[in-house]
Amino acid sequence: MKYNYIAVEGNIGAGKTSLATRIAEKYNGKLILEQFEENPFLAKFYQDQEKYAFPLELSFLADRYQQLKLELSQQDLFTDFTISDYFLNKSLIFARKTLHEDEYQLFMTLFNIMNANLPRPDLLVHLYVRTSRLQYNIKNRGRDYEKQIADEYLDKIQESYFNYLKQQPGLRILVIDTNAIDFVAYPSHLQMIMECIEGDYPRGMTHISLKP
């Protein structure tokens, strides 16, 4: 693996954890997985977004920062690189769509303080999956608190991702359209993604659409 630190991103249900886990297994990577299910505000947020958006986003930001700060500062002599199934900046992406403007400005101030203390990934992999496929994946994994997620919410998050990524010319970003493949079910489809990640990419956004 030519990259020391890779982050896998994407919308809810895009397959971030599945892909990060498989990459870590193949290339002997240190795996960092987000512990989102332990968040006490998550289920409440899906029931009442207006009331719980701000405490949810703040708690996610704090948890993500603490985990990344700890894990990225510790060297693992038995692994060759680090890969995570999230990027701290996802906190900013979600907050942009869920918070009121005054809340967002305060949130962004806190985010900038924390983000300054963390290394940036050498490669950011963004999995693009259309909303109908996301909903299919969400239903299949069967988390009760996700059953009420609306298409409109997923659309807003995807829009927020692309708007943010377009404004990050200093990052090396690989956007992979996986709508036509299923890398969880088919090893050959997974191999296609692996070959993409092994490539050399310039800073900015590179788009790849995969087809079997």
Residue 35 has pLDDT above 90, yes or no: no
Percent of the chain exceeding pLDDT 90 equals 87
Per-chain mean pLDDT for the chain: 94
Strand order in the sheet with 29-32: 29-32, 81-84, 5-10, 123-128, 172-177, 204-209
CATH 3.30.720.200 given to domain 5-209? no
Mean pLDDT, range 16-35, rounded to an integer: 96
pLDDT score of 164: 93
pLDDT tens per residue across span 111-144: 999 999 999 999 999 999 999 999 999 999 988 8
Query: What is the 8-class DSSP label of residue 140?
Result: H
Tokens read off for 33:
């997985």
Residue 37 has pLDDT above 80, yes or no: no
C-beta atoms surrounding 168 within 10 Å: 15
C-beta atoms surrounding 48 within 10 Å: 9
Domain ranges of the chain: 5-209
pLDDT score of 109: 97
pLDDT score of 144: 85
* Highest-confidence segment of 57-61, 73-77, 138-142: 57-61
Q: What's the residue count for the chain?
A: 212
